[in-house]
Each structure stands twice: as structure tokens, then as C-alpha cells.
Structure 1
Amino acid sequence: MKLLKEFKAFIMKGNVLDLAVAVIIATAFKAIVTSFVKDVLMPPIGMFLGGVDFTELKIILKEGSEAVMNGDQVVTPAISEVAISYGLWINTIIDFIIIAFAVFIIIKAYNKTKKKEEEVPAAPPAPSNEEVLLTEIRDLLKEKN
């Protein structure tokens, strides 16, 4: 039972909950960026480069073939194509760059707000007992004159 209590205390800490929220938001953000790259950014770039569809760019290492059928019987099974899909890799690289830039902007904004908090001048320290006594003595001497 002690282990369960410790686990519950660990899960309920703010850092773990913040991390869980960050992972969920990051997953959704990645989906948005992937769609932006695939559906918005790459089509005009492909059109500009002469109608290239980046998702279809690949180096075929071994051709695939369809299954050969004799009625309901499979004479020769289908063989999948073996290829290096470098167009999809290019899309993934662009996804990464956009996500990394967005994280950079967020961290830069966060650091800027932290710096402003640090720049707020702290209240001057309270005078020491000696300074208070010397000030009182000075004021009493002024009153006598």
C-alpha cells in the first residue's frame, strides 16, 4: 500500500501533470504541422519545381508485383515493393524544422519574460542597526544646534 501512496503522490506532483499536458499538446501540434507541410507547403513547392510530388519521390530497390490468381487460388503471391522513400523523409525534415523553430520561439519568449522578472529592482535592504543608531544621533545633534 505504501508503494501505491508514493506513486499517487508522484503522479499528483505539478511537474508530472505539466509534462502530460505538454506531451498531449505537442502531439496535436505535430499533427497540425504535418498537415501544414503535406497539404499546404509542399504542393506549391512541388509545382514550382515542375510538378514534383514529394510523397512519390523514391528509389526503387526491388519492383513489387501483384498476385497471380487462378480463380480463387493464388498461383503467385503478391510481392511488396522495396524502396527508399526520400520524398517522405524530406517532408519529415521540414516538419522537424518547423516544430523546432516554433519551440525556439516559445522558449525565446519565455526567457524574455523571465529576464524582465529578474530586472525588476528589489527593494533596498533595510539599514543595519549601526546605521539606524548613527541616523538617530545625527538627528539629535541637529536638534541641539
Structure 2
Amino acid sequence: MAGLWGVVVEQSLVDRGALSPFEALAELPIGAWRLLLVRVDESDLADAVAHLRAGMVPAHEESWYAHFFDDRRLVVVFQDAVFEVTPDARTWEPVVMHGLTRGVPLEQLDFDPCTVADARARFGLAAQAPAGVL
């Protein structure tokens, strides 16, 4: 399936049903958080992002983000805004500034992973093997 991969922190969701438009690939516990690796077809991205935003913790309560990527673009989704940049950190200034103004610590605005190869490595997926479904 062509499309974008994404990382969603489970704790950023009011309801895990917000993930229904996405194909679940893997999950990874990081301390108290659980990172969910998902994938969405390019043609479904706008609707899937809208569905996800509606299911995220409201921005006035706590700021979270999810991010989606292929090897040429990075889409960062906050409950109150969406940014499209590239995996090159030199393009991230508007996204980082938005996150900082919402109280997200700078060290959490690293959008890691932001390439498919890095996602496979981070979540322990074989380089060419199909990802499993949760």
C-alpha cells in the first residue's frame, strides 16, 4: 500500500477509535507512553487526519502531536493545526514554534522517526518484510 507512515502517541487520544482510518503496523512502549506506528493511503490522508484531530485530547487541555511521513514529506498534526514540511529539520521551524507555544518541550519536537527506513528500525520491522497488523 502506497502512502504515509505515521507515529501516534496513544495517550494523545481521547478514544483509540480515532485510529480507525489507519492501518496499524506496530507499537512501542517508551516509558509511560505507547507509540503506535500506522500507515494511511495518500488518497485517504486528509480525511484520516481530520478524524484523528477530532479524537485527540483538546489542545486547551494538553498539547500532543502525531506525525506522518514518507521519504520526502512530513505532516505534523496537532489537535489545533496541521503542518506539512519535509524530513529535513531545516524546514521545521514553524512546526517547532507552534509546539513550543503549546507547551511541548523542545526535546519532544524531534519528529523521530520521519523516514520509512528509520520507522522500520525504531519499531523493529524487517527492511523488506511486510509489517504486521496489531
State the TM-score bracket (shorter-chain normalisation): under 0.3
TM-score by length of 1: 0.21
**Between Structure 1 and Structure 2, which shows a larger proportion of helix residues?**
1
